[in-house]
Amino acid sequence: MSDAIEDLDFIRLAEEPWKEIQDISIDYAIMEKAPNLSVVPYDGAWSDLGDWQAVHRESAPDADGNVIQGSAIALDCAGSLLRSDDPDTRIVGLGLTDVIAVATGDAVLVADAARAQDVRLVVERLQAEGARDADDFRRTYRPWGWYETLALGPRFQVKRIVVKPGGILSLQSHQHRAEHWVVVEGTATVTIGGDTRLVTENESVYVPLGAKHRMENAGKMPMVLIEVQTGGYLGEDDISRFEDIYGRG
């Protein structure tokens, strides 16, 4: 806690001490040892949806025992869960029995329903291989909106950035990358160096390496832009903030 930092309403613990903590359930680590708690019985239906079998069971399977969610189709399937959280990825099951198939924006899981509890083994394997999607979500949320990576190469990255009405990014600069911004929906108020201008749909600006810059959505609808980053290092920690209305360091 002594090395923690405040981020809006969050307290972010120091990363290195956090890594040293034993990886056990909060029930065992804290709740069972807390002297200031009382416990009462709960007499009712409950499921913590701890695995995909629980999701299947609680989602009202059809007459064939199938649960179909999102962009998914089942043909001659039984006892299966077919779910797509990504509208651009359609799952089609053909002749499946007791299978779990789940697609998200960054990965697809196909498993025997009896092995639903073993998904943690998959995560452990991905973490051991250093897979980015083991710990990071495809979409990253910020106080001003959110962004997602559309394409990534050794020296470039393409992002979709959505800024909510009234959202303002920090005044910042980068040491290792330059950026091109193309507004595709709405209007952005863009500051680069000492120049501030409105950039509307189908217009673009260039942010040179090292230049102080920020963007703001002063409109009443979300503003969407495509950002193309180029440079030798594209990590999110390459940010020097000079002003930030959200109080981030």
- Can you give the pLDDT at residue 214? 96
By residue count, the chain amounts to 249
Helix or strand run (H / E) with residue 133? none
- Alpha-carbon distance 91 to 94, whole Å? 10
CA distance 37 to 41: 14
In a domain, residue 20? The reply is: no
Q: What would the pLDDT profile of 204-248 be if each residue is shown by its tens digit?
A: 999 999 999 999 999 999 999 999 999 999 998 899 999 999 887
Given the DSSP bridges, would you call strands 195-200 and 187-192 parallel, antiparallel or unpaired?
antiparallel
- The rounded distance, in Å, linking the Cα atoms of 183 and 227 is 9
Question: Which one, of 239, 186, 233, 188, lies nearest residue 212 by Cα?
Answer: 239
With contact defined as beta carbons under 8 Å apart, do 156 and 207 qualify?
Answer: no
The residue out of 128, 163, 194 marking a domain boundary is: 128
In a domain? residue 192: yes
Looking at the structure, tell me whether residues 145 and 236 fall in a common domain.
yes
| List of residues 6+ apart from 158 with CB closer than 8 A | 149, 150, 151, 152, 226, 227, 228, 229
What pLDDT was estimated at residue 87? 85
Amino acid identity at 233: Y
Whether 22 is covered by a domain: the verdict is no
pLDDT in tens, 114-140: 998 888 888 889 888 888 777 777 788
Q: Could you list the residue range(s) of the whole structural domain that residue 124 is in?
A: 52-128
The DSSP secondary-structure symbol of 78 reads: B
Return the SS3 of 115.
Answer: helix
**Bridge partners of residue 222, in order along the sequence:** none
Asked whether residue 97 is assigned to any structural domain, the reply reads yes
Is residue 12 included in any domain, yes or no? no
pLDDT band at 12 (very low <50, low <70, confident <90, very high): confident
Say which residue, 39 or 173, is predicted with more confidence: 173
Place of tokens 């509890």: 117
Query: What CA–CA distance (Å, rounded) separates 202 from 206?
Result: 14
pLDDT at 119: 86
209/172 Cα distance (integer angstroms): 11
What backbone phi and psi angles, to 5 degrees, belong to 113? -55, -30
Residue with the two structure tokens 């409105």: 198
Q: Are residues 197 and 234 in the same domain?
A: yes
Number of domains comprising the chain = 2
Give the 3-state DSSP-derived string for 51-74, with helices as H, strands as E and coil as C. CHHHHHHHCCCCCCCCEEEECEEE
Compare 9 and 101 and report the one with higher pLDDT. Answer: 101
* Residue 134 lies inside a defined structural domain of this protein: no
Q: Are 186 and 219 in contact (CB under 8 A)?
A: yes
pLDDT digits (tens, 9 = 90+) for 55-107: 999 999 999 999 999 999 999 999 999 999 988 899 999 999 999 999 987 78
Q: Are residues 97 and 163 in the same domain?
A: no
- Checking if the pLDDT of 249 tops 70, the result is no
Give the model's pLDDT for residue 96. 97
Tokens of 131: 């897979």
**Mean pLDDT over the full length of the chain:** 92
Instruction: Looking at the structure, tell me whether residues 103 and 197 fall in a common domain.
Output: no
Q: How confident is the model at residue 192 (pLDDT cuts 50, 70, 90)?
A: very high
Other CB atoms within 10 Å distance of the CB of residue 229: 21
Q: Can you give the pLDDT at residue 10? A: 77
The CATH number for 181's domain is: 2.60.120.10
